[in-house]
Chains A and B, each alone.
Chain A
Amino acid sequence: MIPHEKSLVAKLKDKKFALIGINSDGDRSVLNKILKEQGITWRQAVDGNTNGPLATKWNVHGWPTIYILDAKGVIRYRDLRDEAMEKAVETLLKEIGQ
């Protein structure tokens, strides 16, 4: 999952694309240690733990849970990983001529 996300972020760095993690590992210092170790550069929402405010509001019971949104902010796919995620993102980029 993480290696594929890294390559996706690198490949699409000049496109209108953002990967946002919503992380349940701990506070900022805990998270930053993991990000450094794993070489993760993309933006993270610090949600604290598995009962964090975002995970609770969005009713997340399994990790990872993935939502893929188009440029208008509409949820278009759920829980696609790796190659399937990449394909979905490319389809949505094509819709906005990217």
Chain B
Amino acid sequence: MNICCTWLTTAVLAAGAVVSQVKPDYAAEAAKLVSEYQAAEKAFYAPYYNAKSDEERAKIELDFNKHPGKQFLKKFQNLAQKAAGTQGGAVSELWVLRLANVANNPAAGKAALKHLQKDYIQWPIMAEVVQEVRYSGSDDDVIPFLRDVVAKTNDKKTKLSAKFTLAARLYGWGSSSKERKEEAERLFEQVTKDDPKSDAAKQAESYLFELRNLQVGMTAPDFEAVDQDGVKFKLSDYRGQVVVLDFWGFW
């Protein structure tokens, strides 16, 4: 009886092993790793979020050497390699890209972006990758990547979002070269025409306003506002004075 059961268990296990060799569920493995990372990240920031007052919070110094990003970046890199060409691999590359900054490893992010460009450019994951590079990564890596997505993707939404993001990266924070600004302007215009009702089009309109009205050498457009005492005023009330406009928040 005992022998029989042992044999049976072994047979079942062996069958399971064969199945998993044939078709390992990398998507599930990646999803599990993502939720493990999210739990570890939550635990890392817990002292900050659990602080009972602003004063207590101000005293908390998080040790970023202990941030789980570094450890998980390696795990995602391993899975990305093992699961290359599958959805699990794509998700892993995205997470390597996401964690590169906090793990202080820009080279890993750069490599992940290369892999995503080479192996996954037509995959749905590209929508998230494009969002990810709006503010992260260096222009030298991100701009050519976005150009390639715009040229090659067959997904309309991803193309629109990549075009907008490319334009925003080219424009930068307003101090880009004349050529880059001109190309950004052309792309923003395209975005507003490609899908006029989209969120990207609305944001592109704001960039076009900045490009056409808020550059050094242009007369600042007038505005009306209400001040801290409830009094209405206009920027043009200050003609004849040197004015500093400071968009700020106390956070």
Q: Which residues of A contact B (CB under 8 A)?
A: 1, 5, 15-25, 28, 31-32, 34-35, 38, 43-47, 50, 54-60, 62-79, 85, 89, 92-93, 96, 98
- Determine if B243 and A68 form an interchain contact, defined as CB atoms under 8 angstroms apart: yes
**Contact residues of B between 222 and 247, Cβ < 8 Å to A:** 223, 225-228, 230, 233, 235-236, 238-247
The distance from the CB of A73 to the nearest CB of chain B, in whole angstroms, is: 5
Q: How many residues of B contact A (CB 8 A)?
A: 37
Q: When the two chains form their complex, are residues A75 and B214 in contact, meaning their CB atoms are under 8 A apart?
A: yes
Alpha-carbon separation in the docked complex, A38 to B243 (Å): 21
Known: A44-B228, A54-B225, A57-B206. A20 touches B238 (CB 8 A): yes
What total count of A-B pairs have CB within 8 Å? 152
Give the residues from 160 to 198 in chain B that come closer than 8 angstroms, CB to CB, to chain A.
173-175
Whether B206 contacts A59 by the Cβ 8 Å rule is yes
The reply to whether A21 and B248 contact each other, CB–CB distance below 8 Å, is: yes
Please give the distance in Å from A70's CB to the nearest CB on chain B: 6
Cross-chain contact A47 with B225 (CB below 8 angstroms): yes
Contact A25 B225 (CB under 8 A): no
- 7 extra interchain contacts, Cβ-Cβ under 8 A, other than A18-B241, A35-B228, A69-B238? A15-B242, A19-B244, A22-B248, A43-B233, A54-B223, A57-B209, A85-B244
Check B220 for interface membership: any CB of A closer than 8 A.
yes
Judge whether A71 and B228 touch: CB under 8 Å.
Answer: no
Instruction: Compute how far the CA of A59 lies from the CA of B173 in the bound complex, rounded to whole angstroms.
Output: 10
Complex CA–CA separation, A93 to B161 (angstroms)? 44
Query: Using Cβ atoms and an 8 Å threshold, which residues of chain A touch B248?
Result: 1, 21-24, 63-64
B41 to chain A, nearest CB (A): 24
Residues of A within 8 A of B58 (CB): none
